Structures are given as structure tokens and as C-alpha cells.
Structure 1
Amino acid sequence: MTATEYDVVIVGGGPVGLLVAYQMARFGVSVCVLEKQDTRTQESFGRAIALFPRTLEQLDQLDLIQPMLQKGFACRDSVTYKDGIQQIPGRVWTFMENIKGTQFDFTLVLRQMYTEAILREKLESVGAVYYQSIECTSFEIDDAAPLDAYGVTSYFVDTQTQKPMTLRSKFIIGADGGRSFVRKHAGIPFDGDTSEDKWIRIDGLVETDMPINRAYGAIESKTHGNILWAPLDHGATRIGYAYTAEIAAKYPDGVTEEVAVKEAIESMKPFNVKFTEVHWWTLYTIGQRMARDFSTQERVFLCGDAAHTHSSGAAQGLNTGIHDAVNLGWKLASHIRGFTRPEVLKTYSAERKTAVEKLINYDKDISLLMTHKWPAWYDGDKNADPYLVLGKIFQEAASFNTGLGISYPENVINQTPSAELGVVPGTRSPDAVITVPGINHKTSVHQVARNVGKFWVIVFTGKVESTKSALKALQSYLETDKELYSHPALRWVTVSATPGCSPYEALGMQPFGDTYFDQTGEAHAAYGVHLAKGGVVILRPDGLIGSGCSLNGASVRQYLSKIMNL
């Protein structure tokens, strides 16, 4: 049997697998994604619901956000109730109310069913191959094959017809959930613990007399833990609570939908709740686990729940998986197309493990506190209210929760700027306002430097008269180093502090790529570029700061030559 060949085979067609596949195809890489379940019969609703600001920015830069905004619930408000009394601010979800520095100053609540449907439609639009009801049974790697060869042979079976399928690829990605076959078959340990604590989540249409009921809520209970009240898309609501040993003892025959509804109603007292429809419910055990490596043998990669699992306490699961997918997507595509050096792809595992380790340590604490228990490290008054500590932890982790503060350490991509610029490598780039020439329409750096799988070289001119000689020298350098200016993995853009009737006249020379005006100086200030000196800031394809330098072509090349095949 002749095996079909793809650059990348992705096992798992949930949102993370679909997003990686979409990026691969969008960035010019051949890809096949295979899903074990039949999407026509699997659970319709439920699962992940909350998409935080940094995740929304990433989806926007991949042209995915508009259909999600049409279906989702934009939540900017939170509320905490205890004993039927609305609490003062400063509790669990209050961080949603003070999100700054991004146009996505809210949490988008959209059930996974809709997210997956949108991603499948987008995947089809870019010509990627997608199968469902196909299960991976094995794969083998030819260690002797060059990395640009099809060194992975994977075997599948149609779960309905039992017909076998064989694929050959350069890489294989496991996005196949917490019980990942890819991870197990690759022999990657899944380190961590599973607790005795269990939680229930139940979605549906409800009627209630709770005064504020279309805000992200925390209802503090001593019997059902810190109860989640989440307004969902299409007018639905999610209630989540701890299924404690005391509650379980009431139901020796186990949990049914009837039990889940009954205890949800009980958990919300003194408020009255009535379910008019139940869409989905689940009972699951809390635990935190992480793959020892997110890649192995240079050809196998893990994303999402295949790489890490944790509670839904901070609603970070899908967000973290999407960050995995975006991080891996551009790096693997650039590697396959021969744009970047092998060292760049190797940063995927190291960078994402840095963020996930922080999440897991954080999740261990909040999952205990939400269950009305104290973490082992707590040495204060055990008679105190655990929810006060929980609220403090959430507030301290606000930038991490929104994703806007997630950063990576220095590495081959994240290099200290060689000039005095106010940017930190590995951090999110500021979303400063700039204007389009002529119409003076306001846009932003994020809208201009969109994720097209390329690095963005942003030339901040400063006040043109003071930087004109440096700009001319940069232009002369690029005229002799044409590869640097025209490389297919680079996009150049000019941000001028001097507006004009045309980019050419504003600069007195040909600009570097498209030009935008920083009429207020906001963009220069946000990126720490002195108006008298100008400077260059280089963004990674995922919108993070790569590095920066003065208006000097040799310095730009010095940074990029460590990353790209120049």
C-alpha cells in the first residue's frame, strides 16, 4: 500500500489540533489532521468555554476572531456572593473588570462546540486535509532519515469500517488529549499527581433570582466549594461546584444528570435556580500533570492536553493549548520551509514548559482553595476564610490569567536589544495606536503586524531631521544586502514620528515597507524608542518582542542571522 505524504500529520482534531493544522496550511505547509471521534455524535456542548485577551489577540492575528465574536458572550463584569450577599470587589474574577492595553478588554465565553465548528470551517478554507472517525494505532520514526525527509510513518484505522490508512510525514503532532496515544507511544513520561477531589460542571438554560446573573460569578460555599457561575453563549449558563466526599456519600449509586442538577440547585442557595434545559454535564477528578518534554526525536511534538492537564479552576486549559498551538505553528512552518535554523524549533518545548510549569503550580493552590481546603504551604490561621487567600492569588496573577503578562526567557529568538530601547525580549509587544497615511484612520501595531508566519522588522524613524542620516545609511545597507530586505520570512514596516501628505515626503526618502504615522508619539513611547534617535524593533511572528537595535542594518542582520538561514 502506497502511503500518502504530508509535511505534518496531526493526531487529534479538537481546537488545538485544528488550530495547528490551520496555521500549517495558512503558512504554506501540507498537513493532515485526524480525529478519533465522530464530530456528529460526540458531546455537543460543554468542555472549554473562556477565551482570555491574549488568546483573542492571537486568534485575531490569524483572522479567526470575527466569527467567534458573532457567537460568543463578551464578559467584562464579575460578581461574588456569600450567604446571598454581594461581596466587595477583590475576589476571584475581578481581574476581568480592569483589563487595559488591548482592544480585547474582556473574556469571550464560547463553548467548545462552536469554537471547533469555526476552526473546521476555516481549516477547509485553506485546503488542509481533515478526517474524523480515524484512530492512530502506531507510528515509527526513521532516525537515519534526514529531517527534511518523510521520516515518520504513521498507521491509522477507520473506527467505523476498520479500513487501514498509512501516512508518511516529516513530523507528527499529538493534540489528542490527556490520554494522548502519541505521547504514550513516543515514551514521554507524564509527570504529576491526581487528587481525590472531584468537580462537577453543568451547562444549560436556567432561571434564577440571583440579582446579577450575566457576569462571571463566584458563589462562596462551605459545602460545594467556590462555585463557578459563568454566563455562556446563546443565553446559557454554566454552574461548577466541588463534588465532595460528603456529597458523594448521599449518592451510593453514582452521579447522574439528575444528581448533577439537584446538587447544582443546592449549591446556589439561598438563590433559587431552575434548569429549563440541560445541555451538558461532567464529573471529573482534579489533577496536575505535564509531559516531561513537549517534543522528542526532533519529529514528535505535543500540544494542549496531550502535553499538560490541570483543573478548570482558572479557566486556562484551552487558552494554554492555543498558546501552545500558536508557538509551535509558526516555528514548525518556518522550519519546514527552510527559513529558520533548527535552534528556533527547539525553543518550542522550553518556552511552553516555562509557562505551563507556572500554571500548574498556580493551579495546585487555587484548586485546593476552591474546594475550601488549605494548600500545604499555608501556615496561617486555619480558621480563616480560604476564599480571601484565593481572591488574593487571583489578583496577583491577573496578568497571567489574561495572558497579557505571559513571557519567555532569553534564548536564540529572544535577544537583549543592542541599543537603548524600552522593550523586553520574550514579552508581548505593546498594541500602540498608529494611523494610516492620507485617511488618518486609526489602527494599531497589532493590526499591522499580523501573524503571517513572518518576522516583522519595524523601523521607528524618530523625528526625521534628527534621524535622516541614520535612515539613509540603513537604506544604503539594504541596497547592498538585498537578501535581508527581501527575505520571504521577513516583513518590513516604517512607523514615522513625522506625519505628512505621503510617506515619501514625510521621510524625504523611500520608506521601508508600508508606512504608518505615530502622530501622538504613543507608539514610540510604548516601544521605548527615543524620538531623537529612532530605532528598530523586531517582532516574532506570534507578536512577542524578539529584539531591537539602532537604525543600523548590520545590527538587524546580526540578530536575524542567528535565527534565519540568511
Structure 2
Amino acid sequence: MGSIEKKVRHVDVLIVGGGPVGLVTAYQLAKFGHSDSIAIIEKEPKSSQDQYGRAITLYPRSSEMLDQLGLADELAQECFACRKTVSYDKDGNEVQGRGWYFMENMKDTQWDFALVLRQKYQEEIFRRRLREEGVSLEAPVELVSVRVDESIPSGSHRISALTKNGVTGVEEEIGCKYLIGADGGRSFVRRALDIPFEGNTTEDKWVRIDGVVETDVPKSRVYGAFESPTHGNVLWAALDHGATRIGFAYTAERQKGYPEFNEAAAVAEAIESVKPFKLKFKQVDWFTVYSVGQRVAKEFFTKDCVFLAGDACHTHSSGAAQGMNTGMHDAVNLAWKLSMVLRGLAPASLLSTYESERLPNVQKLINYDKDISRLMTMQLPTDWKGDPNADPNEILGTVMEEASTFTSGLSIALDINKINVAGSFKSNIDPPPVSAGQRGPDVQLQKPGSFEATRLHKETPNIARYHAVVFAGNPEDTSTRLKEFSGAWEASMMFSNARSPVSWLTIPAAKLGPSAYELLGVSPFGKVFYDKEQTAHSRYGVDAKEGAIVVLRPDGWVGTATALNGAAIKELEAYFRGILLVE
């Protein structure tokens, strides 16, 4: 009997790893028009029988990004929307302003809550939505080897990935232009390419257990903290479907009581961790014990064709519930850039901004996580210079409050570079509320005609296109500027080009009127939305007497902003020529 011939196929992008980061990356590429030229593989069988555990929390900025991809509404249907928190001291007394309290003050967003939904349910939604875009997760399929032929030009099929089907044993060679390793903390892609994973793993062990419980905890359907003298700063998180997660430090002292750590041990320790309150498990869904550590890959992008994303390039404790959020930021930063390069709209050099934009923010998280994870284990930070007898619970509350807008993702900013350019627009507000490299805030708007309420993020979806937003101000004051700009805009070859990946919106700061054309005195630039209370202009720091043009990147960060006048078109054309390959 002859040997089975090895199958061979070619794709533009191979994604390794079927967790949330891999699935959302694949979903974006499929949505952006690449469904026929991508593949996503996962070595574990994926089904509705998957374990419950792992990540649970999406913070506001992650929800905003998923909202602009059309995914958040479905997550919100199933989630536990957490807006309340509580902290209890060792005697069971409520302590104000500690632990997760910052969650109650996540403002300036429609998604002003922690979206708590176990990874199992998130993945089910992402897999289904990916299938609707014409791509199915291939599982169980394992990556066996990967080779990059650097003699083949970048942008061609220079990667050979050998995969093996876990059921049939059939091997397949996949030739691809780009490979994305979203295959977790023990990433095969990272190891196969010898990318150093720098950092350390501590001796500290933590336990997480999910299930349905009965308890006399007064506030149980919240994100909570119990300041336990034996189990550190204990996590209590209300979950979807009526379940609860409890997480605690598993000290060397506690470990002595168990020859083997099994479900019974996890339950017994969880009951101890929330004393003086009572706890009973009606059902255990999942539990784990793991070592805490922080590691960062030396490179997130290597050989001009291989990317790492999510836990494959950074791991940390679950102390601040940042794992899935950081991975979502990776996925959303990468996908639109890769799509633009694949469509010939941008040079391959755009891809290098993935690492340069993500790495500093990952490093910031790691540094913060080192302090958080020690404090949650009742140890002071390693570089602590204050009172050696300080209460770690008190310090933890301060650290988490200081880092709150970074944790929520709303203040995560990107350095000035070729795609984040400080333009000619100067806000009259000091410091300006929004500038290049910062998140473009969501703001309330009204549709013409019906005056129906809408939001800027709903009208600027992430479809791998830029959005140029003309804040037209009050047309009575800006009419001359609008006419100058309109003439230059209509004469622009770049923006009249059908291939131009730039959509336009016009937002006048004016009372609602029957006709946008009559209101503006010129033809609107793209769709029109009213800002009758001038709240959108105010949030973006735009004077209604002067106006401005704000360019939003596909992922929702501000790319640049120009003054509203006839010279703005030349400035915008120069900005886009620095990024795109269109004239």
C-alpha cells in the first residue's frame, strides 16, 4: 500500500491558535475581504463542551473596538454587565474605595462597565461569526514545523508551515505570505522561530475556581475583593449564567494541607478564602492552579512576515484581568494594517508599526502587573520605598486607582509616528482633550431627517478604512472656511479616487435642520450627523466658530487633525501619502 501523499495549499495568512485573539484576528481579515485567502488552525478540538475557565473580563476600550467590528452587541446579550464593586476586610466589614472600585468610574464611553463573559461563550460567538464570513476554524490541527525562506521576497509565499490533523493524522503543507502566532503562552510559533521570551515566573501560585454558589456575602453579584489574612486579596467576580469566580493566593503554607490539588481541595480553599462569610458550591464548572509571572517576547514581528499576538508575546498574572484585553488590542492593531498591505493599499513598512505601537503599552502593563500581583499576594512591591509595615490592601487600592484609565483601556495612547501625526489643528483647550495617537472618543450625534440618536463609533465602523471627520462647527461662523475646503476637496484626485480607503463624515454644530445642504451652504463631505448640543465638538476640543478635521484610523485611534481651511486638503494628502499607496 503506497504512502499517503502530503497535501499542499497556499494562503495569504495562516493564523495559529483558535482562542479569542486568533478568532478575532481571523474574523477581521475575513470581514475585510480576505476570507478566501486565510486559514486558522487550533491543535485542541474546539466544541461546545470546552472547559469554562480562562479569561472572563472585557474592559470598555476592548468593548468599543469589538463594537466597531459588530461583535460587542452579541457579547452583551449573554454577559454579566458589572458596574458595582465591593471590598471586605478580614472581619467582613465593607471597606470603601479599595480593590476594584475604579470600575464604578469608567466614564466617557457607552460601554461604561466590565463585560464579564467566560471565554467559552466568547469563543462560541467568535467562531460562529467567523463561519458567517466564510471561514471555519480547523481543529484539531497542529503546527508541526515552520520554515521561512528569506531568499523569497517579502510579501510572497516565503513561509512553509507543516500541519497535522489530530484525528486523521494527515499532514498538510501550507505556504503563506504571513503567519500569526496567537497560540498562547507556550507558543509553538515563538519557540520555532527562537524568539526569546524574557521575564520570569515567580514561586507564587494562584487558584481560580468557577461555579454556582450559595453564600451569605451581602453583595454577591459584583466584582469584589476579600482582604483575607490567609489567601491574599481574594477575587470575587460575578459571572454570566449566574455563576461566580473565586480567585486567591495558594501559599506554600496552604499547599502543605494537600498531597494533591484536586477539585475538593479547590472548593475547600475557596470556602476558607472568603471567611467570615459562608460559601457552598452547588456546582463546579472549572478550577485551576497556576504560577504567576510576567514575560514579554523580544519581538512581536520578525523576518518581515511572522507576527506574535496575545499570550504568545506577553504573559502576566490575571490580577488586573488584562489578558484578553491586551490580546484584543493586539488583534485590532494588526488586522487592518495587514489587510491594507495585502490589498496593495499600503506599503509593507506599515506592518512594523504593529510592534512599535503595541510593545510600549504591553511593557507598561507588565510593570503595573508586577506590583498588582505582589500586592494581591500580600507582599509589597519589590521597589517599595514607603512604610515597610504598610497594608498591601491599601496600597493595592491606590495602585489600581492610579492605573484605572489604562486598565479600562480608555487612556491607552500610541506614540507619534508616521501614522500618528500632529497636524495643524490646535485646540483652544489646554491640554487638548484629544490628539494624534489617542483614542477617538465616542460621542452622541443625531441623524438628518429623523433626528434619530446615533454614536460616532456606530458611524465609523472598523472596515479597514480611515474615517475623515469634518467638524464643521457652526456654519454661520465657518461658512468661508467650509467653502474653501469644499473647493479643494472636490478638486482632490486622492479623495475622489474610487480606491481611496478614506470615508468622510460631516458633523455640523448646529440646530437640527430639514436639509444638510442648506444648513452647510456646500455639499456635505460624506454622511452628515448633527451635533446640536455641541457636545461632540467640545469632547474633541473643537471651537464651533472654527471647526476642524479629525482623521480616525480604522481601529479608532486619532491619526491626525487639521485646521478647517483650503490648505487642509494638501495637509491630508501629505499625511495619507506617508501611509498609503494611492494617489
TM, length-normalised to structure 1: 0.98
Distance 2:17 2:562 in 1: 41
Q: Give unpaired runs (5+ residues) of structure 2.
A: 1-5
Distance 2:216 2:530 in 1: 52
1:300 to 291, 306, 326: 306
C-alpha contact 2:550 2:562 (8 A) present in aligned 1: yes
C-alpha contact 2:435 2:561 (8 A) present in aligned 1: no
Alignment of 1:512 onto 2:525: yes
**What is the one-letter code of the residue matched to 1:307?**
C
C-alpha contact 2:185 2:315 (8 A) present in aligned 1: yes
For residues 22-55 of structure 1, what are the alpha-carbon distances to aligned partners after superposition, in whole Å with 9 as ceiling and x for unaligned?
Answer: 0001011221100000013874201000111111
1:455 corresponds to: 466
1:538 corresponds to: 551
- CA drift of 1:375 comes to 1.6
Please identify, of 424-433 and 35-44, the stretch whose mean Cα deviation from structure 2 is larger.
35-44
Structure 2 matches for 1:550-565, cutoff 5 A?
550-551=563-564, 552-565=568-581
C-alpha contact 1:79 1:86 (8 A) present in aligned 2: no
The alignment yields a C-alpha RMSD, in angstroms, of 1.3
**What is the one-letter code of the residue matched to 2:532?**
Q
- CA drift of 1:168 comes to 1.3
Distance 2:508 2:24 in 1: 35
Distance 1:85 1:265 in 2: 14
Alignment of 1:265 onto 2:265: no
2:33 to 28, 43, 47: 28
Please identify, of 393-402 and 475-484, the stretch whose mean Cα deviation from structure 2 is larger.
475-484
Distance 1:43 1:82 in 2: 36
1:444 corresponds to: 455
Distance 2:360 2:232 in 1: 30
1:211 corresponds to: 218
Distance 1:43 1:28 in 2: 30
1:111 to 113, 118, 125: 118
Alignment of 1:134 onto 2:127: no
SS at structure 2 position matched to 1:40: coil
2:9 corresponds to: 4
SS at structure 2 position matched to 1:247: helix
Q: Give unpaired runs (5+ residues) of structure 1.
A: none
**What is the one-letter code of the residue matched to 2:537?**
H
Distance 2:367 2:155 in 1: 38
Please identify, of 550-559 and 177-186, the stretch whose mean Cα deviation from structure 2 is larger.
550-559
Distance 2:484 2:151 in 1: 47
Distance 1:532 1:342 in 2: 41
- CA drift of 1:558 comes to 1.5
C-alpha contact 2:92 2:276 (8 A) present in aligned 1: no
2:542 corresponds to: 529
- CA drift of 1:319 comes to 0.6
Please identify, of 362-371 and 134-143, the stretch whose mean Cα deviation from structure 2 is larger.
134-143
2:506 corresponds to: 494
For residues 512-549 of structure 1, what are the alpha-carbon distances to aligned partners after superposition, in whole Å with 9 as ceiling and x for unaligned?
Answer: 10011111111111112222221110001111111111
1:477 corresponds to: 488
2:104 corresponds to: 97
C-alpha contact 1:57 1:104 (8 A) present in aligned 2: yes
**What is the one-letter code of the residue matched to 2:519?**
A
Distance 2:104 2:473 in 1: 35
Change (3 A) 1:42 1:176: farther
Please identify, of 556-565 and 227-236, the stretch whose mean Cα deviation from structure 2 is larger.
556-565
For residues 477-527 of structure 1, what are the alpha-carbon distances to aligned partners after superposition, in whole Å with 9 as ceiling and x for unaligned?
Answer: 233223324444111111112342111111122111001111111111111
C-alpha contact 2:74 2:125 (8 A) present in aligned 1: yes
SS at structure 1 position matched to 2:21: helix
1:326 corresponds to: 332
Distance 1:85 1:130 in 2: 47
Identity, in percent, stands at: 47
Aligned residues: 565
C-alpha contact 2:127 2:136 (8 A) present in aligned 1: no
**What is the one-letter code of the residue matched to 1:383?**
N
2:3 corresponds to: none
SS at structure 2 position matched to 1:458: strand
**What is the one-letter code of the residue matched to 1:98?**
N
Distance 1:379 1:549 in 2: 45
C-alpha contact 1:343 1:412 (8 A) present in aligned 2: no
- CA drift of 1:344 comes to 2.1
For residues 421-449 of structure 1, what are the alpha-carbon distances to aligned partners after superposition, in whole Å with 9 as ceiling and x for unaligned?
Answer: 34311111121211101111121211111
2:477 corresponds to: 466
C-alpha contact 1:75 1:215 (8 A) present in aligned 2: yes
Distance 2:100 2:412 in 1: 18
Distance 2:181 2:441 in 1: 32
Distance 2:126 2:232 in 1: 34
C-alpha contact 1:31 1:129 (8 A) present in aligned 2: no
SS at structure 1 position matched to 2:33: coil
Distance 1:434 1:337 in 2: 32
- CA drift of 1:468 comes to 2.2
1:309 to 307, 315, 318: 315
- CA drift of 1:197 comes to 0.2
C-alpha contact 2:92 2:275 (8 A) present in aligned 1: no
C-alpha contact 1:84 1:271 (8 A) present in aligned 2: no
TM, length-normalised to structure 2: 0.95
SS at structure 2 position matched to 1:238: strand
Distance 1:68 1:525 in 2: 31
- CA drift of 1:376 comes to 1.7
SS at structure 1 position matched to 2:180: strand
Distance 2:351 2:417 in 1: 12
**What is the one-letter code of the residue matched to 1:10?**
I
1:150 corresponds to: 157
2:354 corresponds to: 348
Structure 2 matches for 1:371-390, cutoff 5 A?
371-390=377-396
1:54 corresponds to: 61
For residues 235-270 of structure 1, what are the alpha-carbon distances to aligned partners after superposition, in whole Å with 9 as ceiling and x for unaligned?
Answer: 00011010100001112x221111011111111111
Alignment of 1:73 onto 2:49: no
SS at structure 2 position matched to 1:474: helix
